[in-house]
Amino acid sequence: MADDLAPRMMLKAMREAAPLVQCITNYVAMNMAANVLLAAGASPAMVHTEEEAGEFAALAAALTINIGTLSPAWIAGMKSAAHGATKAGKPWVLDPVAHFATAFRRKAVSDLLELHPAVIRGNASEIITLAGGQASGRGVDSGDPVERAEDAARRLAASQGAVVAVTGPVDFVTDGDRGARISGGSPLMPRVTALGCSLTALMGAFAAIAPDHPFEATVAALATFATAGEAAGHEADGPGSFAVRFLDALHSFHSDTLEAEGRITLI
């Protein structure tokens, strides 16, 4: 990667820019997603209603859409926001939570994919099924390892013209050509509600400062999250203390630790 696109430099740039990120996310995740963005150095805005979502997307630096809690009204807001972001040339990130679980969710994600997200983030089961394969997911939980989703992620990235991130114990990112694995984090992370949704929001913050380089932006976001998770895991006694320590770590760690030996592997 070029030096100005290295994760440590992108984190520095993101903190300096404090980009405004419009987050359409689920009820459970709103508070945590907002706190994660603030701790990292960005500015969150939870704007989802159809009457203003599209207009606001043109003002924000990036948009993130998480389909965790759906309703017809929320879907209308998501579509309006995606249209607004695309028209204004702003990047947006799609988190297709449990899209395979019901026909309602499948239709919602299909419609959103037609609006060309810059980045798609999901667990292994979500990405495998989004690419047309058979997976073992159950609701929001993945039943498949990240490695099994890597080929599916490459196919999906190529067909969508988007960067695809598969998150898990070791994350995988691809633009259909290049690929990267990012290690770190903590086993406690899946025990804290809304951390995955918050990662999607953080991806929006990095996409905002490098809209022409979504692959590098996504790698930087994942490395930031993994670094903070690893630091918090060393001190936490359980999920409750981890959540607090994670926000503190996200706020305070030095950007040089993003590129610790072995954290990012380009493939």
Tens digit of each residue's pLDDT (9 = 90 or more) over 4-39 = 899 999 999 999 999 999 999 998 999 999 999 999
pLDDT band at 141 (very low <50, low <70, confident <90, very high): low
pLDDT for 254 equals 80
Work out the angle between the directed axes of helices 195-209 and 30-40 (0-180°, nearest 10): 40
Rounded to whole angstroms, the Cα distance separating 81 from 89 reads: 12
pLDDT for 73 equals 96
Q: Residues near 39 by Cβ (< 8 Å), separated by ≥ 6?
A: 247, 248, 250, 251
CA-wise closest residue to 142 among 94, 190, 204, 197 = 190
pLDDT digits (tens, 9 = 90+) for 198-222: 999 999 999 999 999 999 999 999 9
Residues facing 266 on adjacent strands: 180
What is the residue-averaged pLDDT of the chain? 93
Q: Is the pLDDT of residue 261 over 80?
A: no
Place of tokens 């607004």: 84
Pure H helices in 61-168: 72-88, 103-113, 124-130, 150-160
pTM for the whole structure: 0.94
DSSP assignment letter at 138: B
The angle subtended at Cα 116 by Cα 111 and Cα 119, nearest 5°, is: 115
**What would the DSSP string read from start to end of 3-37?**
GGGSHHHHHHHHHHH--EEEEE--TTTHHHHHHHH
pLDDT for 143 equals 65
Q: Is the pLDDT of residue 142 over 80?
A: no
CA-wise closest residue to 67 among 8, 139, 156 = 139
pLDDT band at 139 (very low <50, low <70, confident <90, very high): low
pLDDT digits (tens, 9 = 90+) for 77-86: 999 999 999 9
Q: Is the pLDDT of residue 145 over 70?
A: yes
pLDDT digits (tens, 9 = 90+) for 232-257: 999 999 999 999 999 999 999 887 78
Q: Is the pLDDT of residue 259 over 90?
A: no
> Which of these ranges, 37-51, 222-236, 249-263, has the smallest mean pLDDT?
249-263
Rounded to whole angstroms, the Cα distance separating 155 from 131 reads: 7
pLDDT for 256 equals 79
Side-chain half-sphere of 139: how many Cα atoms within 13 Å? 2
Each residue of 196-234: b (16+ CB within 10 Å) or e? Answer: bbbbbbbbbbbbbbbeebbbbbbbbbbbbbbbbbbbbbe
Rounded to whole angstroms, the Cα distance separating 67 from 173 reads: 21
